[in-house]
A and B are shown apart, each in its own frame.
Chain A
Amino acid sequence: MAVNRNVVDRALAVLRTLPRVSLYNLKDHEHRKKRSARGQHGGGTHGHGKKFRQNYLPLGFESGNTPFHLRFGMEKYYKRYRLEREYPPVSLLMLQKMIDTNRLDTTQPIDLSSICNSGVYSMNINFNHHGVNLTDEEGFDQFCAKINIEVQWASEGAIAAIERNGGVITTSYYDPLCLHAVTDPARFFLKGDPIPKRMIPPEDAIEYYSSADNRGYLADPEKVSLARLALAQKYGYELPKIEDDPDYTMLTMRKDPRQIFYGLEPGWVVSLKDKAILKPKDKELLEYYRT
């Protein structure tokens, strides 16, 4: 067979530049692409035999191509739902109503225990409820109480409403074990367990509670003072001078980050029957409760 030398040389030159033959550059012969009836005994009847009986195709079958209900991946809507903390809301209007109907004492600091004991607010720790979310949806204009309140979540408008009236708001975190004590102190004291110490917030919450803009309990107090002024400028109200307030001591009263009740330390056992408080004396225990 006489092959043109020129053609051969050119072909070899091209071959030198081409990549090596491998599985990645091999293709099936075209005739293999033909769809054949798959399945047992030659296929075609989708498991219904070859003797002309009822032949319903599988539900959703689209004559071979991937059916619509299998095309798209799973959407794991509830994948991390156990980790999602919920904060049942209390609007400013509700808070004002609670104060006006004497369910909350404004001469003392208000915290989650007071709100739960008021009888108007309910939360369920089993449903991953972690406390109060103070919202400004209703009652921003009606709110006129001067209070020291500690909630678990607060919207910017709620913070503005409280500070506008000369009050103080703090957001703090209670871990689930402490929540059992805080939400129902009466029941907890009847148990006779020592008051637990509060754990620091989880990773996804620590930024929130360390931020002065959210009035977090772990935030820098100096930054909080500046943030109060910034918010007053944003919402257009005159920030009342809190140092000149006769209730300054009450308004600036705060729990320690490890404390869950005002005036009670972690580690103490409150005995309602004996009407006494039992305090630990052991060095190790004292060290544990103070770290």
Chain B
Amino acid sequence: MAQFNRFTGIFPLFRAIKGIKVNHSSNYKSAIALENLYPNSKLTLTTPSKIPETNEKFNGYIPVKELQITYSRSSGPGGQNVNTVSTKVDLRFHLESATWLNEDIRAKLLEIQKNKLNKEGYLVIKSDLTRQQHMNLADCLSKLRKMIWAACAADAPAPAPSAEFLEMARRRKEKAARERLLEKRSRSMTKQDRQAPSLD
């Protein structure tokens, strides 16, 4: 960009000078403007506040404000970086008083994840998987989500075995029985052959 010296006089015009009002708005609308590509969509940027309610117990939303997140240094090799950068993430919340979770899920989590609960009743999730703090936080949240989904699935009845599975299971049983009998008969013949032949 700075190769053409005869243009150096022009560059200062375009340096970032705060405060100078530039008219950025324009009424220009081409044939491929977003209005024409998506005529039924709202074009303004919004922040959805309410997550669409579903019949399921958990729709994936976790209020991060209710969680206590702390950062510390990770373990393992890494020299100056691992010694100074706080990449380990500790995520905890009091499970029994977590009103944002469905009651059934809360009870199920208390049961399944009792090894992750501490004396005060806090569910503790830690991660130092990556070298970056934000990725470790994402990992913690994903672990939490997986726990909650697993708790939802634990309540659900096991799906009935399919017809193919039942047929395969039946065939397997019959084959096993056949092989067992073959083995048994073969052994029996061997034993009989050890006896003296009868003259009848």
Q: Is B14 an interface residue (CB 8 A)?
A: yes
Q: Which of A183, A224, A258, A263 contacts B22 (CB 8 A)?
A: A263
Given the known interface contacts A103-B16, A234-B138, A235-B138, the answer about A259 and B30 at a Cβ–Cβ threshold of 8 Å is yes
Q: How far is the CA of A95 from the CA of B69 in the complex (A)?
A: 27
Q: Which of B10, B17, B43, B48 contacts A105 (CB 8 A)?
A: B17
Q: Hey, which chain B residues are within 8 Å of A168, CB to CB?
A: 45
Interface segment, B31-39, B105-113, B169-177?
Answer: B31-39
Given the known interface contacts A103-B16, A221-B43, A263-B22, the answer about A238 and B65 at a Cβ–Cβ threshold of 8 Å is yes
Q: Hey, which chain A residues are within 8 Å of B7, CB to CB?
A: 186-187, 190
Interface segment, B56-64, B116-124, B153-161, B181-189?
Answer: B56-64
Contact between A225 and B141 (Cβ–Cβ < 8 Å)? no
Contact between A233 and B132 (Cβ–Cβ < 8 Å)? no
Q: Is B46 an interface residue (CB 8 A)?
A: yes
Q: How far is the CA of A242 from the CA of B64 in the complex (A)?
A: 18
| Chain B residue at smallest Cβ distance from A101 | B16
Contact between B41 and A220 (Cβ–Cβ < 8 Å)? yes
Q: Hey, which chain A residues are within 8 Å of B46, CB to CB?
A: 225, 242-243
Q: Is A109 an interface residue (CB 8 A)?
A: yes
Q: Which of A109, A141, A220, A237 contacts B64 (CB 8 A)?
A: A237
| Interface size, chain B (Cβ < 8 Å) | 53
Q: How far is the CA of A119 from the CA of B19 in the complex (A)?
A: 20
Contact between A243 and B13 (Cβ–Cβ < 8 Å)? no
Q: Hey, which chain B residues are within 8 Å of A116, CB to CB?
A: 1
Q: Is B25 an interface residue (CB 8 A)?
A: yes
| Chain A residue at smallest Cβ distance from B64 | A236
- One digit per residue, 1 when the CB lies within 8 angstroms of any chain B CB and 0 when it does not, for chain A 112-140 equals 01101111001000000000000010001
Nearest Cβ on chain B to A170's Cβ, whole angstroms: 10
Q: Is A290 an interface residue (CB 8 A)?
A: yes
Q: Is A253 an interface residue (CB 8 A)?
A: yes
Q: How far is the CA of A174 from the CA of B138 in the complex (A)?
A: 33
How many chain A residues sit at the interface, stated as a range, is: 35 or more
Contact between B26 and A259 (Cβ–Cβ < 8 Å)? yes
Q: Hey, which chain B residues are within 8 Å of A253, CB to CB?
A: 24-25
Q: How far is the CA of A113 from the CA of B48 in the complex (A)?
A: 32
Secondary structure class of chain A's binding surface, majority of residues: loop
Contact between B10 and A190 (Cβ–Cβ < 8 Å)? yes
Given the known interface contacts A233-B61, A290-B30, the answer about A108 and B41 at a Cβ–Cβ threshold of 8 Å is no
| Chain B residue at smallest Cβ distance from A262 | B24
B40-88 contacts to A, CB under 8 A, are 41-49, 51, 60-62, 64-65, 67, 69
Q: Is A241 an interface residue (CB 8 A)?
A: yes
Q: Is B18 an interface residue (CB 8 A)?
A: yes
Contact between B13 and A186 (Cβ–Cβ < 8 Å)? yes
Q: Which of B15, B42, B51 contacts A221 (CB 8 A)?
A: B42
A-B contacts, 8 of them at CB < 8 A, read: A117-B14, A187-B10, A228-B45, A236-B137, A238-B64, A242-B47, A262-B24, A289-B30
Q: A117-B15, A187-B7, A256-B30 are known; give 6 further A-B pairs, CB within 8 A.
A: A114-B16, A222-B42, A236-B138, A236-B140, A243-B47, A263-B25
